[in-house]
Amino acid sequence: MSATRRQVLGRTGALGASIAFTGSIPELFAGTAAAAGSDSAGGTAGGGYGPLVPDPDGLLDLPEGFRYRVLSREGDELRSGEGKVPSHCDGMAAFPGRSSGKHSRTHLVRNHENRVDAAIRVPTVQGLTYDPAGLGGCTALELDSRNHVLSERVAIAGTAVNCAGGPTPWHTWLTCEETEDRAGTHGYTKDHGFIFEVDPYDPRRTGAVPLTAMGRFQHEAIAVDPRNGIVYETEDAFEKPFGLFYRFRPKKPLGGTGSLRAGGELQAMRVPGVRDLSTVQETGTTFDHIEWVTVPDPLAKETPIRFQDFGSGGITHAQKLEGCYWGGSSVYFVSSFAKSADGSAADHYGQIWRYDPQRRRLTLVIVFGPDTDLQLPGESPDNITLAPSGGLMVCEDGAGAQHVFGLTRSGEVYPMARGRQNIGTPEEPEWGEFAGVTFAPDRRTMYVNCYTPGTTFAVTGPWQH
């Protein structure tokens, strides 16, 4: 049955909730490997892998036949001896082994979204530290074919609020600071709000160099056009005027590790006649002749970029611009929600947009709500990745028990994992959200973080390919 303009009923085995949306879920996989895959998500007739089985160790509930390994936990000693595993495990990506004989190995780069009150900072390491007062950064793990940790070390330190980011076609990670605090704030010795490149194989190749030409703002995620190297960036600004959608045109496109340091041009998207994307409510709405306006001051020396003067045509804003990925010939980006009470022009529980650079065309693919309470996939869907079976895995970020949900290309929602780590009290229980879901290059292992207490899991089992 088509998932276009319909209500999807998700059999979660736990919540029995539903999501209501208009749009076409298969569109999200156009041109990707998932588009050629099976429409089935797993081994049950109703989709998915069956009900979740309670974990006797109280960490992670999974469907029957699946198992997990804890790779790393907040507060444990890093294998490098540099200090303790930092707090707030967030965005993450998996990369294949490079050297001869190591093709079965996997390299993980893991963000730590540490603010000034983080319990355990990313340890400062000479040559890898941007600002000693910054508590965030990344750690890198190398795993063998059985997901045993071979090494674990600091990959970059001295940054702040490393939320999401994205991989490059040359197998590095772009970690994004979701802040725009200036030097002197919170004791910082340098300005923050930048993107940094991290080499998962040898972090010292990239060091701790801010890619200043890519802008200083509250970064969320990036996606790279593999044809020409243009980098698309989302901004998750917390107050009005809300964030912008950007593109960065590098001077050395697809130049490999370190090439983005050569600089380039940062531009912001202008949809003629549309100042706020929340006002667009009808899926399939298309805007041609999208304009890209050069950012007057990418370093935001005096004024945050979203406040800057973009001329008589203004610029287009959107609340909660978060996820971003490349699929086929287009870039997809997400506005997680919009609330008029916060200052948005209209309300919705989520939008997914597609921008086709060749046609300069922007299309609203999916809208959630607001005529129904968005329950699945999860409350406040966050990190997303393509699943081996041709669907999505979505991390939940909300109240109550936290889940990783699967979403098939036909629109069915199913539970993949449930966190059991209660970080609250029996009277007021609270669970750590999931983040950074990603798959090994061979698609046989799902890696995912629990944000608090910081834990990285490797999940194996009968994945459908």
The per-residue pLDDT for range 106-154, each reduced to its tens digit, is: 999 999 999 999 999 999 999 999 999 999 999 999 999 999 999 999 9
- Among the listed ranges 16-25, 240-249, 396-405, 436-445, which one has the minimum average pLDDT value? 16-25
Residue-level pLDDT at 232: 98
Tokens 């996820």, residue?
323
Please determine, for residue 184, whether its predicted confidence score (pLDDT) is greater than 70: yes
70/459 Cα distance (integer angstroms): 9
What pLDDT score does 393 carry? 85
pLDDT band at 388 (very low <50, low <70, confident <90, very high): confident
What's the pLDDT at 4? 32
Contact partners, residue 183, CB within 8 Å, separation at least 6 = 189, 190, 191
- Decide: 385 and 369 in contact? Cβ < 8 Å: no
- pLDDT of amino acid 427: 78
For residue 204, what pLDDT is reported? Answer: 97
Q: What is the pLDDT of residues 405-446, one digit of tens each?
A: 887 777 777 889 999 888 888 777 788 889 999 999 999 999
Mean pLDDT within 250-259: 98
Q: Is the pLDDT of residue 2 over 60?
A: no
* pLDDT > 50? residue 102: yes
Mean pLDDT within 253-272:
98
Q: Residue 377: its pLDDT value, please?
A: 42
pLDDT of residue 389 exceeding 80, the answer is no
Residue 315 domain flag: yes
Residue 63 forms part of a structural domain: no
41 within some domain:
no
Q: Label each residue of the chain as H, E or C.
A: CCCCCEEEECCCCCCCCEEEEEECHHHHHCCCHHHHCCCCCCCCCCCCCCCEECCCCCCEEEECCCEEEEEEECCCECCCCCCECCCCEEEEEEEECCCCCCCCCEEEEEEECCCCCCCCCCCCCCCCECCCCCCEEEEEEEECCCCCEEEEEEEEEEECCEEEEEECCCCCEEEEEECCCCCCHHHCCCCCCCEEEECCCCHHHCCCCECHHHCCCEEEEEEECCCCCCEEEEECCCCCCCECEEEEEECCCCCCCCHHHHCEEEEEEEECCECEHHHCCCCCCEECCCEEEECCCCCCCCCCHHHCCCCCCCCCEECCEEEEEEECCEEEEEECCECHHHCCCCCECCEEEEEECCCCEEEEEEEECCCCCCCCCCCCEEEEEECCCCCEEEEECCCCCCEEEEECCCCCEEEEEEECCECCCCCCCCECCEEEEEECCCCCEEEEEECCCCEEEEEECCCCC
User: How much is the mean pLDDT over the chain?
Assistant: 87
**Neighbour tally for 427: CB within 10 Å:** 5
pLDDT band at 14 (very low <50, low <70, confident <90, very high): very low
Confidence (pLDDT) at 306: 98
> Mean per-residue pLDDT for 367-379?
50
Provide the domain count of the chain.
Answer: 1
- The pTM for the full model equals 0.92
Domain coverage including residue 267: 22-36+69-390+428-460
Asked if residue 422 belongs to a domain, the reply is no
Task: Place 369 in a pLDDT band, splitting at 50, 70 and 90.
Answer: low
Q: Is the pLDDT of residue 189 over 60?
A: yes
Average pLDDT over every residue of 89-106: 83
User: Does 42 fall in a domain?
Assistant: no
Is 37 a residue whose pLDDT tops 60?
no
Residue 403: inside a domain, yes or no?
no
Are the beta carbons of 222 and 195 closer than 8 angstroms? yes
pLDDT of residue 423: 84
